[in-house]
A and B are shown apart, each in its own frame.
Chain A
Amino acid sequence: MRSTLTIALVAALLGIALGVGLTWAELGPYSQAPAQLADDGAGVNSGPLPKAVVVGSDTFNFGFMEQDTKKSHTFQIRNQGDAPLTLAKGSTTCKCTLSNLKDDRLEPGESAGVELEWSGSPDEHFRHSATIRTNDPSRPYLTLTIEGRVSRSHKIVPSELIFSSPVNVGEGAKGMLRLYSFESDQFDVVKHEFAGGPLAKFFELRTEEMPADQVAEVEGAKAGKILNVSVKPGLPLGPLRQRIRLSLDVPGQPTVEVPIEGSVIGDISIVGPAAWHDEFGLLSLGAIERQQGARSRGMHLLVKGEHRDEVKLKVRSVEPDFLKVDFGEPEPVPGQSVVKIPFTIEVPPNAPPGDHNNTIERPFGKIELDTGHPTTPRLQIYVNFTVGK
């Protein structure tokens, strides 16, 4: 008990001494003018005080400005108090310059300019602000704001063409883009190309004039084109990634690029239990006891469409080569124009130990099948597994 009291007493004395020192260091001698910036809002409010006033509004709207041009506005800050006003820059989201200032200090009655500059960015609307810290206890922070809009020569909607629903390889798909001009009453797409390599031949573009009422829906638009994108049948199954590049005859002759994304599925689909991940074409057999091996259950190929009876499955390649694939007899699904072909994938007993988990050294197992189907001649199935030692 006594030792606790002693510790408490010593701590209190030390605390008082430390407090005196810290307070002296923070507040300084009484005669000193309140020159430091307000810190935690607890300013000194006795004696002569500075008073920060923004002349006019603390927000300036540029209206429309051209992209990649610069505009600036100078706000005037006046010291309407009786003591020197100290200013310091806080955060800015644009270029901010404090001008006409000696040592960042304004004597009573003096004014200084704070210039905010912005380069028109690709964003349609912009708003940027600068925080100025002051030693005015009633207004320790001033926020100056510039805002406006960047006028663009054109805009395309959507900026990416996404086929959210998978494209059927035998049917293709259609999508629509809307291209608006904000400068010209008339414009044309003078050239277009699909930049996705050998698969570009599966894409087509047809341009038509946009009706005036649709143009009017977009603020500031003067003309518009509707771009109809067609995806032809026959794309390889799996992820779809393409890019359309448009050249316009508006000022500056810009090139507009629109990514096209989605996925392609075929008349042939694979269904299976939880271990089958359709979106990746991946069968996950997991960890396998080496002596026992493993075999998939409940896997079926479903074939729809007019070519469903032509499908004759053959194994084209297997990696690693110990994987086994067996097919059952095709059978029609009652009441539907679909043929069902059961199949199994097997890791036989005593297969070599190792991981096949999608690394460079041990990639997924891969099975390629020839189908005999005219639009989906080949199928790939990945197999994820680990054979224990």
Chain B
Amino acid sequence: MLYQLPHNRWLRWISRCLLVACSALAVGCSKSPTSSRPVSAKPSHAGSANESQSKSAQTASGERSLLIPTVVAKPVTNAADQPVSVQSSTAQKRADAQNADGTYGKDHVDPEKLNGPIFEKWPKPKVALLFSGAQDGYIEPCGCAGLENQKGGLSRRHQLIKRMQADGWPVASFDAGGLVKRYGRQQELKFAAAVEALKTMNYGAVTFGGADLRLSLTELISAVTSVEENKPSPFVATNAALVSFDDPLVARHQIVEAGGMRFGVLAVIGQQDQRQVNNPEVQFKPAANAIAETLPIVQKQRPDKLILLAHSTLKEATELAEKFGQFDYVVTTGGADEPPAQAKKIGKRTQLIEVGHKGMYCVVLGLYDDRQTPQRYQRVPLDARFGESADMQQVMVSYQDQLQALGLAGLNLVPPTGLPKHTQGQNFIGSATCGECHTKAMAVWEKTPHAHATETIVKLSPPRHYDPECLSCHVTGWDPQGYFPFASGYLELKQKHLHSNGCENCHGPGARHAAAQLGEIDVTDKELKALQLSMRVTKEEAKKNLCVQCHDQDNSPDYAWDTYWPQVEHKGKD
């Protein structure tokens, strides 16, 4: 932990003077410009960036030949990827929150001031239990509103774990499932990437969510099967089986050891989530039946604590906690996006722990050999204070490389039968053509971030312009909530006329309207008028249905019509 200044004014004065003097002395005597950076006195985390890169490359190299490339370990440098104290000072957190170019976002604010401090007055625990779940596909927070304003992401979670470890805390991590939320080839790649990330973070136990089990059996098996000797897969599913319960490919319980303690882990999927799954190769049992079968087997191994991971509604998890009072912790993905400030006690022994949604928070429990305070609870907002992890950056690079290699056709987004037409049935022509007549509207649009939306994702590291979930709102001609291109919509970077979140994303495809107006096709006066009217959008329609397609709560949490609309307000033809 970092040195804390004393509270007494004069002692504080003297201490501050001595501290600065020592720092200056260190700078004066050191040849290394980075040696003045305050880091924890604890030993650093074992997994250096280089090691992890080679590990990632090795793991990914066995994946699909030819189409999906062997991951080449790219050098990832990130000054923030250093193990510092989890209770580190504001100054340190500011360093972590720096942009890659060393600057802060223009609206930089200290995340601790925004979201509050964490682990205040925590002594070193005997073991720290980290609970996560319901990542819902958010392996990183979307940057539309500025990453500093958003919570979540595997990278920050890894930083949290590394910081706890750097402080010498033994950490055991558990995930209550729900790595993805959608279906399709991209989700399979994302699931595999997320599993790789959790393995890198050394998770002790991980279970499935309903959406995970909708993916193809091949992908599930390859992702959850351990390939390393003497390192069992962290996956556990007590009431779900891939193929058959008779010969389970996934363990029905786990024993996780950390800090000299043993944790018996069971994991269930609630009935509501089971009903999300229409996969004949996945079998389910009622959660209570499966727990009743398995719990005695685990209890025979005399674990110190019993944990139930419940990918379920809050009601189902509560009922299980009431029915099986033997569990110390029932961890649920049910409930609200934001976990509560404290765990909820159910019965004499069990604590119900909500982990929230979209990977925005983790819950950490500190366990102590202390009768008065045997446990401390911390809801951890995964905000900009944690910086980025080079290991997770590598996972993102690999994932984006795979998306690039497959291309939209390989992701099944460009079916051989052809792309679906936009609901208005017309083709896209690009904003430049619109601007030839609608010059005033174009002048407004050009000054908005919409006009360089594609370039924004191209400049990211790694670039995201092969990622359909980013493209859907950063180019012209896609279904923003369906994540697929319409016929004549953007397909690749060469199509500069379809760059940006252009006019036609709100007004509809305008190729025929433009051709009719420019006299390139013969239309009747009636059709000419009809085409003009089809492009018209009222403020009410925009407010109710259009802007929110991209400025949704997840990707644009600060969005408010009243403040955003005036910045893009425009009228029809000049």
Identify the A interface with B (CB < 8 A). Answer: 4, 7-8, 10-12, 14-16, 18-20, 22-23, 26-27, 30, 39-46, 59, 90-91, 93, 121, 123, 125-129, 131, 133, 137, 140-141, 143, 145, 147, 157-165, 175-176, 178, 196-197, 217-219, 236, 238-239, 241, 259, 261, 263, 274-275, 277, 279-282, 284, 286, 358-361, 364, 380, 382, 384
Contact = CB atoms under 8 A, between A and B. Distances in A.
A90 B13 CA distance: 28
A78 to B, nearest CB: 20
Counting chain A CB atoms within 10 Å of each CB, which of B12, B66, B281, B492 scores highest?
Answer: B66
A164 B16 CA distance: 63
Contacts of B183: 160, 162, 164, 261
Contact of A280 (B281, B337, B409, B420): B409
Which of A23, A27, A59, A384: most chain B CB closer than 10 A? A23
A274 B65 contact: yes
B145 to A, nearest CB: 13
A380 B422 CA distance: 25
Contacts of A161: 278
B116 A12 contact: no
A164 B277 contact: yes
B103 interface: no
B566 interface: no
B415 A238 contact: yes
A-B pairs, top 10 by smallest CB distance, nearest first, are A15-B21, A15-B24, A164-B279, A11-B28, A19-B17, A19-B20, A127-B336, A91-B114, A158-B276, A125-B336
A226 to B, nearest CB: 11
A168 to B, nearest CB: 12
B553 A121 contact: yes
Nearest to A243: B482
B89 interface: yes
A254 to B, nearest CB: 14
B491 interface: yes
Interface on chain A toward B: helix, strand, loop, or mixed SS?
Answer: mixed
Contacts of A382: 409, 416
B19 interface: yes
A282 B409 CA distance: 10
Contact of A12 (B25, B120, B215, B494): B25
A12 B21 CA distance: 5
- Counting chain A CB atoms within 10 Å of each CB, the highest count among B28, B215, B281 belongs to B28
Contacts of A12: 21, 24-25
B272 A42 contact: no
A15 B20 contact: yes
B416 A11 contact: no
B9 A27 contact: yes
B300 interface: no
Nearest to B360: A93
Interface string B110-121: 000111110010
B303 interface: no
Nearest to A93: B338
B341 A145 contact: yes
9 contacts: A22-B16, A42-B5, A42-B12, A125-B334, A137-B7, A164-B281, A280-B409, A359-B492, A364-B409
B28 A282 contact: no
A131 B421 contact: no
Instruction: Give the residue among A19, A46, A241 with the most B Cβ atoms within 10 A.
Output: A19
B360 to A, nearest CB: 10
A19 B16 CA distance: 6
Given A41-B117, A127-B335, A238-B417, A277 B67 contact: yes
B227 interface: no
B407 A358 contact: yes
B280 to A, nearest CB: 5
Nearest to B188: A279
B115 A164 contact: no
B96 to A, nearest CB: 15
A158 B183 CA distance: 12
Given A141-B116, A241-B420, A219 B25 contact: no
A128 B338 contact: yes
B533 interface: no
Contacts of A43: 7
Interface in B172-192: 182-185
B341 A143 contact: yes
A129 B341 contact: yes
Contacts of B338: 93, 127-129
Interface string B158-178: 000000000000000000000
Nearest to B271: A217
The majority secondary structure among interface residues of chain B is loop
Contact of A15 (B22, B279, B334, B336): B22
A384 B69 CA distance: 14
A275 B66 contact: yes
Contacts of A141: 116-117
B410 interface: yes
Interface in B505-564: 553, 557
A258 to B, nearest CB: 12
A4 B29 contact: yes
In this complex, the member of A22, A93, A126, A263 whose beta carbon has the largest number of chain B beta carbons within 10 angstroms is: A93
A225 B277 CA distance: 18
B67 A284 contact: yes
Contacts of B27: 11
Contact of B20 (A7, A16, A219, A384): A16
B412 interface: yes
B340 interface: yes
A157 B277 contact: no
Given A157-B276, A261-B184, A7 B28 contact: yes
B7 A157 contact: no
B348 interface: no
B412 A239 contact: yes
B214 interface: yes
Contacts of B415: 238-239, 241
Contacts of A30: 9
Residue of B182, B272, B494 with highest tally of chain A CB at under 10 A: B272
A3 to B, nearest CB: 11
Contacts of B420: 196-197, 241
Nearest to B121: A41
A134 to B, nearest CB: 12
Highest count of chain A CB atoms <10 Å: which of B6, B29, B340, B409: B409
Given A15-B25, A46-B8, 17 more contacts: A16-B17, A19-B17, A22-B20, A23-B16, A27-B12, A41-B120, A90-B113, A123-B337, A127-B340, A141-B117, A147-B340, A162-B279, A165-B280, A219-B315, A279-B412, A282-B67, A380-B416
Contacts of B371: none
A197 B335 contact: no
A161 to B, nearest CB: 7
A124 to B, nearest CB: 8
B336 A147 contact: yes
A164 B24 contact: no
Nearest to B412: A239
B120 A158 contact: no
Contacts of B120: 41
A206 B161 CA distance: 51
A214 to B, nearest CB: 10
A36 B416 CA distance: 65
A197 B415 CA distance: 15
B23 interface: yes
A161 B13 CA distance: 66
Contact of B281 (A147, A165, A359): A165
Interface string B406-441: 010110100111001100000000000000000000
Contact of A157 (B16, B115, B275): B275
B412 A263 contact: yes
Contacts of B25: 8, 11-12, 15
Contacts of B213: 164
Interface in B261-283: 271-272, 275-282
